[in-house]
Chains A and B, each alone.
Chain A
Amino acid sequence: MKKLLTTILSLGVAASAALAGDLSLTAVKVSDKLDTVSADSALWSKAKFSTVDLYPQTAIEFNDKEAIEANKANKGKKVQVAALHNGSEIAVLVKWADGSKNVQGIKCTDTYSDGFALQFAGSTKKAQPLPYIGMGSEGRPVVVHLQKATEKVYEPNGNKDVSTQINRQQTGVFGKELAEYDAKVASLANTDFERVFVGEGFRSLTEIKDKSVKSNASMKYENKGWTGTLVRPLKDDYISASGTLPVAIAVWDGAKHGRNGLKLLSSWVAINLEGSKANNAVVAEATEVSKGDAVKGKLAAETNGCAGCHQIDKSAPAGTMAPSLVNIGGYSTAAYLRESILKPSAVVVPGYNRNAHANTPWYTIEKGKRVSTMTDYSFLDKGTVDDIVAYLKTLKVEVE
């Protein structure tokens, strides 16, 4: 009996390991309008929910001492994802457990909010390989929809335009007029923190402020968990989805000082639009399980000196010569890992001075482009590369 149980358990683990993070899921086709869909909408009863694993993004260690401490023993997290589409819009729902509701206060300098983001691969003539999961990559843009839990924020002009923020002391009005001014400011105050960005590589992320993306995101906290929803067009200036839409999911935990690169991140997830012909190339890339041998790959990684520059073992100090690979298997596709081995300069994580200082750069700038100082491993035979990719895919922390 014990043996049977062990077998069942190990089979279960193997099955979830094969699926986790390498998913394709289905956006159920509905005829309803989706623009007002929120967490409470009855429409979600029609959707198919799937589990996606998110891993701590650890390529770079940031310089916030308290955040480093709070994220030291960080594990991966399971989120529930569902999607609906009506031919012109797509609605995505992400549900995740979070023991504490954290909202960025407007009277505090060191608190952070919970949040979530959905990243879409942007329109590009050359679809493969998919953009870098973080900020996209040159020629392979990404569109990021970010929603954070915030308090009511005074933004007198209501346009998120900081250049016209005015302090009440400097309005030149007093008494009753000042009260009227305060009332007006309160009525214009912005309660929502929804942002849309476009990025083509690290440090390029730019907020789209010209209203050229018609989207609506929201978050709801109940039963010790968040539900985040996003509705956006299937086609606009930035993305053009037909058949399959590659999406990546990120969540932030304010209690762990989460913001920017301090987050939990999925690999690319292929969302097939029900009723349309799936894009098999995108599905294959998002769900590829490396054919290599991870044990041989570990040996090959050691022989080729990967650990000389990269942090592979979490107990080793964060590298100053290259990005950390501690969770790379969790949020990277096999295609990205293969590309990084064969063409190290295709995507260069810039690193910040904390990890890559002037004396030991992990890239140089040539003709305005970041060129990696990593050896080009294209001399390795295909089998060895597959083995290393298989090994790298095993590098990820436990999911709680």
Chain B
Amino acid sequence: MSKRQLAMVMDLNKCIGCQTCTVACKTQWTNRNGREYMYWNNVETYPGTGYPKNWMELGGGFDAAGDLQPGVIPNLEADYGVPWDYNYESLMGGMADSNTFHPHVSPTWGPNWDEDQGAGAFPQDNYFFYLPRICNHCTNPGCLSACPRDAIFKREEDGVVLVDLDRCQGYRYCIAGCPYKKIYFNPKISKSEKCILCFPRIEQGLPPACAQQCVGRIRFVGFLDDEESQVYKLVHKYKVAIGLRSDYGTQPNVYYIPPTESPAKFDAEGKIIEGSTRLPIEELEKLFGPAVHDSIKTLKAEMKKRKETGVSELMDLLIAYQHSDMFRLDNNYYQQVAKENKRNPLAPVDTRYIAGKFTKAGGHH
């Protein structure tokens, strides 16, 4: 158990599926061979196949008794999709084998393959919403429990879940153990890699790239024990932000404000069915559990209150007037940790991610 826990809240009512977060993360962190196919952050259309394909059916997580469940390791080509490139060089250099623009492989699958498909029949009752996903930096991580090498650890300072790249030998039980399939195998270096919650940015007081670049301003970041933070208020005070698939028993630390508003259905004559909503509550229950009812109730009540009285702290929070207000990151805290550990405050607080425990320096214990 870490001393403090960083958390993120994503307001799904505001996500427009623009993939800016995906691009911000991808360009920031695809800095090593073998990471090309990995999307540490992705935004999928729900309902949909997701990324990797059918991730919700691939197992992992814990059962009610606390036993880790077996899972399936996705296949790069079939389940993630091979990252394809185009024949830019031959076209630009005028040495084209053909004069058409084409990918270097015939893609059969990729992230967002089923973008905006959703469910239902258009225009009567079709619906979908966007679901951005990153590593949940769980309090009880399935990946950590599954690792026989003790290569995954949760940082004491902030609960960020990292892979010790020196200890990792590429066994991939972590991937089977993570119910969100948010840990990836790098086949080039034969080690697991994952979202690091942009900890080198966090330690300098900057939000993760996905959160800072988000044009919909859907993401809040802060410490769960900081009662002034938005994440504390949304998760604990108002209880409107809920973990994704909490039934897996991993206690995720990325929380979601469930989508509350959806259009009404049309009947056979094209007339609105009063009181109907296209978004089935069962789907939201599947993702967020029974707590979604109270969350939606609170959100609607606060919206009403705001309309009637003009006052609602919750609505003010969710509107997020100032982008900078969405992130309460304690740069001084990290500087203090660095000082206590006699480290350079500009260097990462925990070097295990970068250097690992080398034989001579760390010993075998």
A interface list, Cβ under 8 A from B = 60, 62-66, 68, 104-110, 141, 150, 153-156, 162-163, 165-170, 193, 195, 198-200, 202-210, 212, 259-261, 320, 352-355, 357-359
- Chain B 164-201 against A: per-residue CB contact (8 Å), 1 yes, 0 no? 01110111110111000000110111110000000000
Bound state CA distance, A24 and B80, in angstroms? 49
Contact B80 A261 (CB under 8 A): no
Contact B364 A68 (CB under 8 A): no
Distance (whole angstroms) from the CB of A353 to the closest CB of chain B:
3
Contact A209 B76 (CB under 8 A): no
By beta carbon, the residue of chain A nearest B193 is: A162
Interface residues on chain B, number (Cβ under 8 Å)? 59
Besides A63-B176, A66-B72, A108-B75, 10 other A-B contacts (C-beta < 8 A): A64-B70, A110-B185, A163-B354, A165-B34, A169-B30, A259-B171, A259-B172, A260-B149, A353-B67, A359-B66
15 A-B pairs with CB atoms under 8 Å apart are A62-B148, A64-B73, A65-B176, A110-B172, A162-B165, A165-B32, A165-B188, A165-B189, A166-B33, A167-B36, A208-B359, A260-B171, A352-B146, A357-B62, A359-B65
Contact A206 B70 (CB under 8 A): no
How many inter-chain residue pairs (CB < 8 Å) link A and B? 160
Instruction: List the A side residues contacting B60 at CB < 8 Å.
Output: 63
Contact A163 B358 (CB under 8 A): no
Contact B68 A207 (CB under 8 A): no
| Residues A63 and B190 in contact in the complex (CB < 8 Å), given A109-B76, A352-B146 | no
Bound state CA distance, A105 and B59, in angstroms? 24
Contact A108 B32 (CB under 8 A): no
By beta carbon, the residue of chain A nearest B82 is: A107
Instruction: List the A side residues contacting B149 at CB < 8 Å.
Output: 203, 205, 260
Contact B364 A203 (CB under 8 A): no
| Residues A64 and B190 in contact in the complex (CB < 8 Å), given A163-B354, A167-B33, A209-B358 | no
Distance (whole angstroms) from the CB of B170 to the closest CB of chain A:
8
Instruction: List the B side residues contacting A63 at CB < 8 Å.
Output: 60, 68-71, 146, 173, 176-177
B interface list, Cβ under 8 A from A = 30-36, 59-60, 62, 65-77, 80, 82, 145-150, 165-167, 169-173, 175-177, 184-185, 187-191, 354-355, 357-360, 362-365
Contact A353 B76 (CB under 8 A): no
Instruction: List the B side residues contacting A202 at CB < 8 Å.
Output: 148
Distance (whole angstroms) from the CB of B168 to the closest CB of chain A:
9
Contact A261 B148 (CB under 8 A): yes
Distance (whole angstroms) from the CB of A300 to the closest CB of chain B:
30
Contact A109 B176 (CB under 8 A): no
Contact A141 B364 (CB under 8 A): yes
Bound state CA distance, A65 and B149, in angstroms? 19
Contact B185 A154 (CB under 8 A): no
Bound state CA distance, A259 and B172, in angstroms? 9
Bound state CA distance, A105 and B170, in angstroms? 13
The interface centre, meaning the residue of A165, A210, A212 with most chain B CB atoms within 10 A of its CB, is A165
Contact B148 A210 (CB under 8 A): no
Contact A64 B173 (CB under 8 A): yes
| B interface majority secondary structure | loop
The 6 tightest CB contacts between A and B, nearest first, are: A353-B145, A354-B68, A357-B66, A65-B70, A206-B364, A203-B150
Contact B62 A353 (CB under 8 A): yes
Contact A200 B365 (CB under 8 A): yes
Contact A62 B71 (CB under 8 A): no
Bound state CA distance, A166 and B364, in angstroms? 29
Instruction: List the A side residues contacting B359 at CB < 8 Å.
Output: 198, 206-210, 212
Instruction: List the A side residues contacting B191 at CB < 8 Å.
Output: 162
Distance (whole angstroms) from the CB of A348 to the closest CB of chain B:
14
Bound state CA distance, A355 and B146, in angstroms? 10
Distance (whole angstroms) from the CB of B80 to the closest CB of chain A:
7
Distance (whole angstroms) from the CB of A217 to the closest CB of chain B:
16
By beta carbon, the residue of chain B nearest A136 is: B364
Bound state CA distance, A153 and B172, in angstroms? 18
| Residues A170 and B31 in contact in the complex (CB < 8 Å), given A109-B76, A209-B358, A260-B148 | yes
Instruction: List the B side residues contacting A212 at CB < 8 Å.
Output: 359
Distance (whole angstroms) from the CB of A129 to the closest CB of chain B:
20
Bound state CA distance, A355 and B66, in angstroms? 10
Residue in A109, A162, A359 whose beta carbon sits within 8 Å of that of B189 in the complex: A162
Instruction: List the A side residues contacting B360 at CB < 8 Å.
Output: 210
Instruction: List the A side residues contacting B74 at CB < 8 Å.
Output: 109-110
Bound state CA distance, A156 and B75, in angstroms? 26
Instruction: List the B side residues contacting A168 at CB < 8 Å.
Output: 33
Contact A357 B65 (CB under 8 A): yes
By beta carbon, the residue of chain A nearest B37 is: A109
Contact A104 B66 (CB under 8 A): no
Residue in B66, B165, B173, B358 whose beta carbon sits within 8 Å of that of A210 in the complex: B358
By beta carbon, the residue of chain A nearest B69 is: A63
| Residues A65 and B364 in contact in the complex (CB < 8 Å), given A170-B31, A209-B358, A359-B66 | no
Instruction: List the A side residues contacting B185 at CB < 8 Å.
Output: 109-110
Distance (whole angstroms) from the CB of B276 to the closest CB of chain A:
40
Residue in B167, B177, B184, B187 whose beta carbon sits within 8 Å of that of A106 in the complex: B187
Contact B67 A357 (CB under 8 A): yes
The interface centre, meaning the residue of A105, A110, A259 with most chain B CB atoms within 10 A of its CB, is A110
The interface centre, meaning the residue of A60, A63, A355, A358 with most chain B CB atoms within 10 A of its CB, is A63
Distance (whole angstroms) from the CB of B175 to the closest CB of chain A:
8
